[in-house]
Every structure is written in C-alpha cells, then in structure tokens.
Amino acid sequence: MTGIATSVLIGAPALAVLAMLAAPRPRLAERLNLAAAGLCFIAAVAMTVSAPAAGARYLGRYLIVDPLGAWIILCAAVVYLLASIHACGYMRMPGEEARLPRFYQLFALFALTIFIAPLMNNPGLYWIAIEMTTVVSTFLVAFEQAAEAIEAGWKYIIIVSAGITLALLGTVIFYWAGTFSLGPTYDMTWRVLRHAAPHMDRALLVLGFLLVLVGYGTKVGLAPMHTWLPDAHSEGPAPVSAMLSGALLNAAMAGIVRYLAVLHRAGLFMLPDQILAVFGTASLLVAALFIVRQRGVKRLMAYSSVEHMGIVALGFGFGGPFGVAGAMYHMLNHSLNKSLMFFGAGNAMRSFGTRSMTRIRDYARHFPVAAALWLAGAVAITGAPPFGLFASELTILRAGFRGAGLWAAIVMLVLLILIFIGFLDHFRVMYFEPAGDDAPRPARLGAWTVAPMWLALIPLLVLGLWWPRAMWRDFQTVEQVIERPAAAPGPAARASARMPDARRAS
C-alpha cells in the first residue's frame, strides 16, 4: 500500500506537469492540477494509515515512508487540494488566462517537491529536496510580477538559500562525526545516524544541530531567521501563500525533528530541547509584537505563521508523549486553519481591491457567508475552543508544564493571550467599523473561492471536538523514535558500530 501511495504522490503531479507542458491550455491545466491534487490527497491518506512504525524503504533505501514523513505529507496534500480548488476561482483574472498554464505547472511542481522532501532517507538528499522547494516556489512568490512581488521573491531566495547553506554545513558535520565510528565512507541515512549517535563526539553533534536548526529554521520561519516570510507570504497569490504556510514550513520542520532524534539517541536531551524552546518562544514574541501593529491583511496571516511554527517548535522542544503529539496535531490543524485564513484574505483583497485592512470595511454586510467563515477561522487561529488548534495548543502546554520547559510554557500562554486580543481586534475593525466615503466598492466572490473555506473549517471543528485514536497511536510511534535514548552499548555493539559498512542499519 505504501509503495503504491508513494508512486501516486510522485507520479500524479509529475504527469500533470508534463501534460500541461504538452498542451498548455488554461482550462486543461486547471483540471489536470485539480485531478493531481485529488489523487495526492487519497494517496496521502492511504500512506498515513499504512505507514509501518519502523519505516518502509524504497529505491535502494533512498526513500523512506515512516509515520513522521507520512503525517507531514498528509498535511501538505490537504493544503494542495484545498489550494487547487481555491485557485480555480482566484486565478481566473481577466486578461490573465494565457499565464494560467505556467502557474499550474509551477504549482504542481511545487507540490511535488514538498512531497518528496519528507520521503528522503538520506540527509543530503533531503537538503537537495528542500532547496528545490525554494527554487520552484520563488517563481510562484513573484508570479504576479509586481515590483513588490519580485522584490519578495529575491529576498526569499537569498535569505533562505543562505540559511540552507548553514544546514548543508551541519549535514557535513554530522557525516564527519559518524566517520569516527563507521569509517571514512558509509551509507548516511537517518537510521544510521541514530544508531551511531551514542558513539559520536557530542561537541560535533551539538555544533551540527545548531547549524541545521538555524538553516532549516530559516526555511521554517523561526525568529530571528523569519524575515523573508512576511514578504513572501503576503506577495504571492493566495493559493501559493496557503501552500507556503500550511505545507512547506512543515516539510522543513521535518529535518529539524529528525536531527533532534539523533541527538536524543546520543543521550543529549536538555541542551537541544532548550535551544528549540528558545527559538520557539522568540518566534511567538516576534509574532505577537508584529501582529498587534500590522496593517496588511496577508502580512497579518504571515506573522501568524511565524507564531504557529514557534508553537510547533515548542512542542518538539518540550518533548514527551504530549509534546510530540501536540506538535504533530498542531501541524495538521495549522495547515487547515491557515489555508482558510489565506483564502479569506485573498478573497477580501480581490473583492475590495486593496491589501490594507484600513480600507476593508463592513465586510460582513457585503459577504455574509464568506465573512462568517473567515471570522470563524480567525477565532480558531488564535487558539480558541472548540477548534483543533485549541486542542493541540492545550496539549503542548500540558507537556511544557510537566517538564523542564515550564518557563517557556508560561511565556507561551501569556503571548497567546496577547495575540488573541491583537489578532481579533483587526477583524473587529474590518467587520464592524463603517466604511468611509472613499472606501472601494467590493466585487463579487465566486463559489470556487468560498467552497474550500467550508472544506477547511468543518474538519478543523471536528478535530477540535474529537481526537481519533489512530492519530494518537501514530504520534506515540513518532515520539518513541524521537525521544528514546540509546541503550548502553556492550562490547559487541561497540565493535559493530565501528564497522565501516553501515548497510546493516540503513
């Protein structure tokens, strides 16, 4: 089952791109992308259900399907499907039909690169896959070709590529640390690194982890490496913003989590966990300060992404069953919720013809259904019950209050209250303050732009009221891989770890 699902996840968007290149017609490209998104969603659900706890390896161990990778792919597939539906209405602009095939080619290719990254069993190949997401998504960020969009694209690729370079250096250091026990050449996979971690030099492990944390943390949008994120998320089309926030950031977080598991297997818990908690808390602080004073509607959503990636980092930093489960649950809830919020922001911008929240007024009167959905999403994104983000944030807080992260949990709780007040105050202005004489006349919204908001909100509400038991089992499996320390090695184990051939552990 996992082999078929993997083939569909890679093959469906790839074939869609090839078909669009062969027949670049707007409506055909739209349908091909939508069909690929639907197939990828079905395959991602099947992969999540059937992913073995130990991981299934394919293509000579280059690909691995494990519960962590399958979960992140599920989050990405959900966003890809919802964003593809929204794009059917959002991207149909007068005079822009000729550019639609190019958009959908890049969009499907972007989804393909996101699906591939969590499947990479080799840290070096994972780095290449993450860099490929940067290259493809840069063209989508700058797709509207306005001066601000092109500037955001340049800023995005320069800052993220600089960060990813540090991640490459960290990857090299991890490989070097492994050579002292595995020999000068070995098959570097995630499992090999975890197996050899107890025999690696701890100073090298910490140095390598700091580099990959800063490098991939730049891609995740953790403060203070987040500076590309507000511009890129706010300047790209709304479906692209949803993919950047709800899919790409999770794929980059996967690398941090896998390296964290290596340090834990070496017996290093307190230092990497506290470092991750510091970055998570800093992200929440930066997000809170900028959310309160924000004026751009999509930049508001972008800083919310910084906030929630900080919460995910805190969950993995707190660790334990509650921390890991809460972080993974938060990934899915955030993917759904942030898709809803960017769809609503895109609809508001297109209907009012402005990015500024100061010129969006009386929104509920003009669009009662879309406004109700967007407001419900705004309440949910601030962590209020009964939505899924409340459940995941509460679980993460429980992990923080139970362990050494008490200080970070207290700061997180205070900042969440501040963000709740500041975020919803912006919606009070857009919904209830009367429009002035110079307010723009809003245009109509189509069904394609409202339907995915329903499709995001309903499961978000269900996940807040009901936590499926199967999810908890998957979360426990991932927690055991991340948190389990290595047993004290005996003489035979130490001799085996010094073997140059690491194929036995890959």
pLDDT digits (tens, 9 = 90+) for 226-262: 999 999 988 889 999 999 999 999 999 999 999 999 9
In a domain, 505, yes or no: no
Phi, psi of 62 (to 5 degrees): -75, -30
Averaged pLDDT of the chain: 89
Phi, psi of 65 (to 5 degrees): -115, 105
Q: What confidence category does residue 432 fall into, taking pLDDT thresholds of 50, 70 and 90?
A: confident
Q: What confidence category does residue 58 fall into, taking pLDDT thresholds of 50, 70 and 90?
A: confident
Mean per-residue pLDDT, 262-286:
94
In a domain, 419, yes or no: yes
Q: Does residue 105 have a pLDDT over 90?
A: yes
User: Cα(106)–Cα(287) distance, rounded to whole angstroms?
Assistant: 30
Q: Does residue 136 have a pLDDT over 70?
A: yes
Mean per-residue pLDDT, 2-8:
89
How many distinct structural domains can be found in the chain?
1
- The reported pLDDT for the residue numbered 95 is 67
Phi, psi of 51 (to 5 degrees): -60, 125
> Tens digit of pLDDT for each residue in 147-165?
889 999 999 999 999 999 9
DSSP 373: H
Phi, psi of 97 (to 5 degrees): -60, -35
> Tens digit of pLDDT for each residue in 180-203?
888 888 889 999 999 999 999 999
Domain assignment of residue 462, given as a range: 1-436+443-485
In a domain, 339, yes or no: yes
Least confident of 126-140, 283-297, 319-333, 350-364: 350-364
In a domain, 347, yes or no: yes
User: Cα(195)–Cα(184) distance, rounded to whole angstroms?
Assistant: 16
- The reported pLDDT for the residue numbered 177 is 93
In a domain, 78, yes or no: yes
Q: Does residue 504 have a pLDDT over 60?
A: no
Q: Does residue 312 have a pLDDT over 50?
A: yes
What percent of the chain is modeled with pLDDT above 90?
69
In a domain, 494, yes or no: no
Q: Does residue 450 have a pLDDT over 50?
A: yes
Q: How many CB atoms lie within 10 A of CB 31?
A: 15
Q: Does residue 263 have a pLDDT over 90?
A: yes
In a domain, 56, yes or no: yes
- The reported pLDDT for the residue numbered 500 is 37
User: Cα(265)–Cα(192) distance, rounded to whole angstroms?
Assistant: 11
- The reported pLDDT for the residue numbered 384 is 92
Strands 63-65 and 56-58: antiparallel
What percent of the chain is modeled with pLDDT above 70?
93
In a domain, 506, yes or no: no
* Strand-pair partners of 58: 63
Q: Does residue 380 have a pLDDT over 50?
A: yes
Query: Hey, what are 453's tokens?
Result: 């908001």
- Verify cis geometry, omega within 30 degrees of 0, for the bond prior to 198: no
- The reported pLDDT for the residue numbered 366 is 82
Please report, in angstroms and rounded to a whole number, the separation of the first and last CA atoms in the chain. Answer: 21
